[in-house]
Structure 1
Amino acid sequence: MDRVTFKVNGIEYSVGSEVNTDVTLLEYLRRRLRLPGTKYKCLEAGCGACIVTAVRGQDTPPTAVNSCMVLVTSCQGWDITTVEGTGGRLAGYSKVQTTLAEHNGTQCGYCTPGWVMAMHSLLQSGKKLTMLEIEQSFGSNICRCTGYRTILEAFKTFAVDAPASKRIMDIEDLHICKRKGDGCKKTNCDDYDWCMVLKEEVNKASTVHIKLEDGRDWYRVYDLNEVFNILVSKGQDSYMLVAGNTAKVEI
């Protein structure tokens, strides 16, 4: 036998001397079979964009596979499913795809096929998954737009312990009042009765001022008035407001 045979979306294919030694399953899917739904970015199994589902032998459960790390010549006997094989505009979308859309779990959409195939692989494995197991399973999938919350909210609905309402509450939704210990509707509250900060915590705080090695000043403030006091004292010096540090704006 001088050829490797496998299936992709139910159709049998084979490769032999016409491919090079470094042709990956990802490259074969995209360039030879014209299945561009499987994306690529890092090419080192770190982003999850290239995930497909593969049954790699008899009596083995379907698993998620990073196709960028698999040589196509390693796929002897595999049964591979790409995102095109799970559903689409003409054949109808799968439950995973529609659930993700209903929960607004996609923005630019580039990473979405990888997320869909990762969840599809979990469901095809036949395991009774908990919400925690689903969350822990996506360590290799990256999304740069949506922020994960809506994606996990969508996929946790497939868990055996998902709430009947299908609405997964996040910590921002709970609004547990530190003073009362129960739910807070954030109404009729004084300035310091917010759920996240206690008045006592703010009153005890004081501005932290550090002279950094590069000659710049670092201030850690606890009150908006402290910000204005610093701006007044420093005059026209340039400054940067840091809150989360996801973007830097220097004024």
Structure 2
Amino acid sequence: MTKVSMKVNGKPVSGEIEGRTLLVSFLRDTLGLTGTHVGCDTSQCGACVVHVDGKAVKSCTMFAAEAEGCEVTTIEGMANADGSLSTIQQAFQDHHGLQCGFCTPGMVMSAAALLAETPKPTEAEVRHYLEGNICRCTGYHNIVKAILAASGQDVGDIGGDAIAAE
């Protein structure tokens, strides 16, 4: 067993882990932060995306010990200080960027990383950035629209009719 310490959502945490413990398992099983989802265990779906030192990572492919001393942010840490939804979370709600919700934590975390890197992305940039996140319900259109809206851009010209007609 190895002791691991890090900050998660701004709070210092530590725990005893086996060396093979994945970060997603540490977050979910040790810390009880179940918002980070496990979808595929192979780094394909993106449901487990968290931020480690400000960078989006798939926590199912990172050992918890690799996050030693790091700042980790999970979906639980995305809300505003008063508990209200963040701009990105609110945009997902307002623009119907979720259905079953399983992929939503990873999508929100990926969106936050994208907007930190590219504050005003184009639709093509959003779609390219989300290539590592799988959603089986929405068709991505409203997710893209939500991310563009969260960036402060007008999404009035983005309509679902063109996609439906293809």
After TM superposition, the score normalised by the length of structure 2 is 0.87
Unaligned stretches of 5+ in structure 1?
A: 56-61, 176-194, 197-251
Deviations 1:42-77 (A, max 9, x none): 01110010001121xxxxxx2111000000011122
**1:85 lines up with 2:77 in the alignment:** yes
Unaligned stretches of 5+ in structure 2?
A: none
Deviations 1:121-171 (A, max 9, x none): 2223465533322221001101111111111111122457x4x4x224247
Matched residues in 1 for 2:49 and 2:5: separation? Answer: 20
Summarize the alignment of residues 13-162 of structure 1 with structure 2, pairs less than 5 Å apart. Answer: 13-15=13-15, 18-55=16-53, 62-87=54-79, 91-125=83-117, 127-159=119-151, 162=153
8 Å contact from structure 1 (residues 153, 167) kept in 2: no
Aligned length: 164
1:9 matched to which residue of 2?
Answer: 9
What is the Cα-based RMSD across aligned positions, in Å?
A: 2.5
Q: Partner letter of residue 52 of structure 1?
A: V
Decide which of 130, 139, 158 is 1:169's aligned counterpart: 158
Change (3 A) 1:128 1:174: closer
Summarize the alignment of residues 235-250 of structure 1 with structure 2, pairs less than 5 Å apart. Answer: none
Q: Partner letter of residue 111 of structure 1?
A: C
Summarize the alignment of residues 207-222 of structure 1 with structure 2, pairs less than 5 Å apart. Answer: none
1:98 deviates by: 0.7
> Could you say which structure has the larger radius of gyration?
1
Change (3 A) 1:151 1:98: same
Q: Partner letter of residue 44 of structure 2?
A: G
8 Å contact from structure 2 (residues 119, 151) kept in 1: no
Change (3 A) 1:170 1:40: same
Name the SS for the 2:17 alignment partner.
Answer: coil
Structure with greater proportional helix content: 2
Change (3 A) 1:127 1:72: same
Matched residues in 1 for 2:107 and 2:158: separation? Answer: 21
By relative contact order (CA 8 Å, sep 6+), the higher-ranking structure is 2
8 Å contact from structure 1 (residues 103, 150) kept in 2: yes
Change (3 A) 1:21 1:130: same
Q: Partner letter of residue 172 of structure 1?
A: D
8 Å contact from structure 2 (residues 115, 151) kept in 1: no
Change (3 A) 1:116 1:7: same
Matched residues in 1 for 2:139 and 2:78: separation? Answer: 24
8 Å contact from structure 1 (residues 100, 154) kept in 2: yes
Q: Partner letter of residue 101 of structure 2?
A: G
Matched residues in 2 for 1:65 and 1:102: separation? Answer: 26
